[in-house]
Amino acid sequence: MVETAIIGRKARSPSQLAQERFLRRPWVRPSLWLLATLALLGIYAPALVGDAALVWKDATGWHFPVLGELFNAWAFSKQHDVLFNLLALALPFLALGWVFLSRWSRVRRLVIFGALVIAGWVALCWLPIGTTVDGDAQTFWRRKAQSEHTIAHWRELDAQQQAPFAIFPLIPHDFDATFAGQAFKTVGSLNPDTGSRFWLGTDSAGRDVLSLILYGIRISLTVGLVATGLSMLIGLIIGGISGYFGGWVDLVLQRVVEVMMCFPTFILIVIVVAMLDRNIFVIMTVIGLTGWAGTARLVRGEFLAQSVRDYVAAAEALGLPRWRIMFRHILPNTLTPLIISATFGVAGAVGSESGLSFIGLGDPTAPSWGVLMEQGRQNIRYGWLIWSPGLAVFAFIIVLNVIGSGLREALDPRQADG
């Protein structure tokens, strides 16, 4: 009977067993759902926030004004917004491609789809198309949307009993729109300009806090992924070289790592950012350039353990180049701790950016959660400027930490159940 049960049971790979252990961890599934929800809210923020109509039908036909703004540098001056807008359009097609190309491995599909999105983003940002068209064309499209397809124009036509069919975002307030006389409005206040409510109040400039929080998701995701990716790349290169070659190379590189670890990371970030421009891209670059020391020590230990294995000796005996041995053979066997470290690194990067903004060193032009909290710090009477973005930062970091802890326990064989 036992043999029959064992034979009849479908064999599962180690990765499938690890995935099952991961999903069984407490709070992992809700955390994954919440993280996915936050990511989708950030990607599709233009469909939820803004004064331009999503759909507009009049005597001239059907129009989709929001599409005219997605790659308009007048409306979205930050390059990371262009990437998210591109993702908003490409995501349905990528989902279909993921299903129809199921014969390909997951890694292959991720690499190809990611390369396509990055190539499109580079083309839109740096080639003479999309956001880089001349200013007259940008102003034309912006004014066209504002004059013909906005909620203000729709209400004007409605008063004349000529209102066309139109669908507007749930929150008809642009994240960068300032409403005169609406500074520090309380939660649920009515905006007389649009007839809609400020569900989380307004800031010192009269901007809708809920709109800023939704677009702040983009800032947090960008900072977390870019800063962590940069620190992981530097740490991987330095740690891999140090662990594989050993000797005087290891000695010199580890002294550099120890010097970096001697400085308090956040204090170092504050000093560098205070000396440079308070641009969000400068901030995420500084966070990445100062946070690689721990990754380098982790990678070094993994490479030291793997470099004495038989498969490495066999590869060296075959005369393979050292860079191929390091990054083609050893690196895949060290990814587990790196994935876990990256998850916690994203949470740390988001916390660092929010902390910088909270003490007044953030990018004042970016819809960052930390910038909102900094306004709340300066205007302590208006509590919604503290608790609204504060809860968003708390939820984002807690979710990432729960996922990181679940990955650590699931991918470590010693944590396996039975």
Alpha-carbon distances of 122 from 117, 376, 402, rounded to whole Å: 9, 36, 34
Would you say residue 361 has pLDDT above 60? Answer: yes
Per-residue tokens: 243? 């662990």
Would you say residue 159 has pLDDT above 80? Answer: no
Higher-confidence residue of 162 and 50: namely 50
pTM above 0.85, yes or no: yes
| Average pLDDT over the chain, rounded to an integer | 84
Which residue type occupies 127?
A: L
294 contacts 228 by C-beta, under 8 angstroms? no
pLDDT for res 147: 56
**Residue 48: band (very low, low, confident or very high) from pLDDT cuts 50, 70, 90:** very high
CB atoms within 10 A of CB 59: 6
Average pLDDT estimate for 156-169: 80
pLDDT for res 237: 92
pLDDT for res 216: 93
Q: Which of 249, 242, 240 is nearest to 329 (CA)?
A: 240
Would you say residue 374 has pLDDT above 70? Answer: yes
Alpha-carbon distances of 47 from 145, 158, 211, rounded to whole Å: 15, 23, 11
Q: Point out which residues pair with 197 in neighbouring strands.
A: 190
| DSSP strands (E only) in 51-142 | 55-58, 61-63
**Residue 7: band (very low, low, confident or very high) from pLDDT cuts 50, 70, 90:** very low
Would you say residue 221 has pLDDT above 60? Answer: yes
Average pLDDT estimate for 104-124: 86
pLDDT for res 412: 67
pLDDT for res 332: 85
**Residue 92: band (very low, low, confident or very high) from pLDDT cuts 50, 70, 90:** very high
Cβ burial of 157 (10 Å; 0-12, 13-18, 19+) is middle
Q: Hey, what domains does the chain have and what are their CATH numbers?
A: 210-415 (1.10.3720.10)
Would you say residue 142 has pLDDT above 90? Answer: no
Average pLDDT estimate for 314-342: 87
Percent of the chain with pLDDT over 90: 31
372 contacts 259 by C-beta, under 8 angstroms? no
* pLDDT 10s digits, 399-415: 999 999 998 888 765 54
| Dihedral sign, Cα of residue 386, residue 391, residue 394, residue 400 | negative
Average pLDDT estimate for 54-59: 86
Q: What's the alpha-carbon Rg for the chain, to the nearest Å? A: 25
Q: Taking the CA of residue 285 as centre, how many other CA atoms within 13 Å lie in the half-sphere pointing to its CB?
A: 9
Average pLDDT estimate for 46-51: 90
Average pLDDT estimate for 132-145: 46
Work out the widest C-alpha separation in the chain, in whole angstroms. 84
Strands across the sheet with 165-167, in order?
61-63, 55-58, 165-167
C-alpha span between 277 and 288 (Å, rounded): 16
Would you say residue 294 has pLDDT above 50? Answer: yes
Average pLDDT estimate for 136-148: 50
Average pLDDT estimate for 69-93: 85
Per-residue tokens: 19? 């995935």
Average pLDDT estimate for 285-301: 90
Which stretch of DSSP H or E encloses residue 190?
strand 189-190
Q: What's phi and psi for 360, nearest 5 deg?
A: 95, 15
Would you say residue 200 has pLDDT above 60? Answer: yes
